[in-house]
């Protein structure tokens, strides 16, 4: 199996690698989400179908939007990574850790789209000022809302049909993250 959004191969061994980041759990009989990027099962296919990341030519406007989206996803991945270390509850630690890996996968999707060499290193921010799990969850929600607003703001500027599909699905994943955080 393969995810058309992130291009990752999915095996039964990998279906639950980020299970703490999903509202429903994948199983041997049904896969709800790509375990790497969170795309829904309609983007998971058997066989050699080409993923949506391949052979995309971006214009200058699209390239700028995708490069910024890549940095936004890295920023969010960095937050979740630190939040997973700061959280008290094991359940929240696990959720933040899984969300971090998914956000970094989103950044790598953007990296592939804009044919960027390596993911950029962003300035590290210290999140220790958030004193408890509730504050970390509130910050997580704000980051997801910001990502959704970003995708909404620029979706009309994207002409490439494959990139439109990818960004729409990544936005849906971010919306689901809010539901998970609020749970």
- Domain 60-182 is of which CATH architecture? Up-down Bundle (1.20)
Instruction: Identify whether the C-beta of residue 133 lies closer than 8 Å to the C-beta of residue 92.
Output: yes
Instruction: Give domain limits for the chain.
Output: 60-182
Inform me whether the pLDDT recorded for 47 exceeds 80: no
- What's the pLDDT at 183? 84
Mean pLDDT for the stretch of residues 17-38: 94
pLDDT tens digits, one per residue of 134-162:
999 999 999 999 999 999 999 999 999 99
Return d(Cα 158, Cα 163) in angstroms, integer.
7
pLDDT tens digits, one per residue of 58-106:
899 999 999 999 999 999 999 999 999 999 999 999 999 999 999 999 9
Return d(Cα 46, Cα 28) in angstroms, integer.
14
């Amino acid at each position: 199996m393969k995810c058309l959004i992130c291009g990752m191969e999915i095996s039964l061994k990998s279906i639950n690698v980020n299970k703490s980041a999903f509202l429903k759990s994948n199983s041997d009989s049904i896969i709800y989400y790509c375990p790497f990027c969170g795309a829904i099962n309609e983007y998971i296919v058997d066989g050699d179908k080409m993923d949506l990341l391949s052979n995309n030519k971006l214009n200058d406007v699209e390239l700028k939007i995708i490069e910024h989206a890549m940095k936004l996803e890295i920023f969010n991945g960095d937050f979740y990574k630190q939040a997973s270390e700061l959280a008290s509850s094991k359940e929240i630690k696990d959720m933040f850790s899984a969300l971090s890996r998914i956000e970094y996968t989103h950044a790598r999707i953007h990296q592939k789209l804009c044919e960027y060499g390596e993911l950029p290193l962003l300035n590290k921010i210290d999140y220790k000022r958030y004193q408890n799990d509730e504050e970390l969850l509130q910050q997580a929600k704000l980051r997801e809302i910001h990502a959704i607003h970003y995708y909404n703001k620029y979706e009309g500027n994207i002409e490439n049909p494959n990139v439109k599909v990818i960004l729409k699905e990544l936005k849906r994943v971010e919306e689901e993250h809010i539901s998970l955080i609020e749970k």
